[in-house]
Amino acid sequence: MRIILLGGPGAGKGTQAKKLVDKYGIPQISTGDMLRAALKEGTALGLEAKKFMEAGKLVPDEVVIGLIEERIKLDDCKKGFMLDGFPRTVGQADALKKVLDSMSLKIDHVVSIDVANEELVARLTGRRTCKACGSGFHVLFDPPKKEGVCDKCGGELYQRADDNEETIRSRLKVYDDQTAPLIEYYKKAGLLRPIAGVGSIDEIFAKITSVLGG
């Protein structure tokens, strides 16, 4: 199964992707995580991406398309994959289709998680992520048992650099201007599975697995 998770910043793509990995055994491919890892390692790619990410702007299409093209050709993607945060522009979506066509593959479902902007701001400002294992939490909506400590591995929790109100506003605008047109794009392609992203994490997970066929 090959899936795209579409949704604004904070819609729950990463949270749901981690649960879907456990259920379906297909890898989560998050361009945001890949870029943050490159930044942490101090690679040329990471340094180039830094200024865009800190400003809440999109990294240029050719950079992320190159990352994805390499990633989906790896062995663990043979049984399928889940794209989290890619594509984010019509150009990226067209490029993805071209790469998949060349491999005689196709996307099965585009799960679009819809959440109102004010809720997104509340989710992002309270998000905490584990430095060691990448698990996500929320100080109010999904708090760790011990403040600042990951429930799963005991790692230290941190707040993402782009989760400040100013950068969040820019990310929301970029989503509306450049990524939201993909909803219509995938609707026309007959692949769109819209999900109302309000409710508990488990309720939304149940809605997603039901559209994916259980």
User: What residues make contact with ligand AP5 under the rule CB under 6 A?
Assistant: 7, 9-15, 31-32, 35, 52-53, 56-59, 64, 85-86, 88, 92, 123-124, 127, 136-138, 141-142, 162, 171, 200-201, 204
Residues 49, 168: Cα–Cα separation, whole Å:
17
**How many residues belong to the chain?**
214
Q: Is 123 a catalytic site residue? A: no
> Per CB under 5 A, which region of 14-22, 67-75, 122-130, 188-196 contacts Mg ion?
14-22
Question: Catalytic: 128?
Answer: no
Q: Give, in degrees to the nearest 5, the angle at Cα 134 between 130 and 136.
A: 70
**171 labelled catalytic:** yes
Q: Which residue of the chain is nearest ligand AP5 when measured via CB?
A: 32
- To the query of whether residue 127 is one of the catalytic residues in this protein, the response is yes
| Site membership for Mg ion, residue 87 (CB under 5 A) | no
- Kindly give, in sequence order, each residue whose CB lies less than 8 Å from that of residue 187, ignoring residues fewer than 6 positions away: none
Q: In this complex, which beta carbon is closest to Mg ion, that of residue 71 or of residue 105?
A: 71
Q: How far apart are CA 28 and CA 17, in angstroms?
A: 6
Report the 3 state secondary structure along 160-212.
CCCCCHHHHHHHHHHHHHHHCHHHHHHHHCCCEEEEECCCCHHHHHHHHHHHC
Which position's Cβ is nearest Mg ion? 14
- The correct pick among 7, 10, 12, 14 for binding Mg ion (CB under 5 A) is 14
Cα separation, 168 vs 55, whole angstroms: 9
* Catalytic residue selected from 123, 128, 171, 193: 171
Q: Which does 12 bind (CB under 5 to 8 A by kind): Mg ion, ligand AP5, none?
A: ligand AP5
135 binds, among Mg ion, ligand AP5, none (CB under 5 to 8 A by kind): none
- Candidates 18, 19, 97, 160; catalytic one: 160
Footprint of Mg ion (CB under 5 A): 14
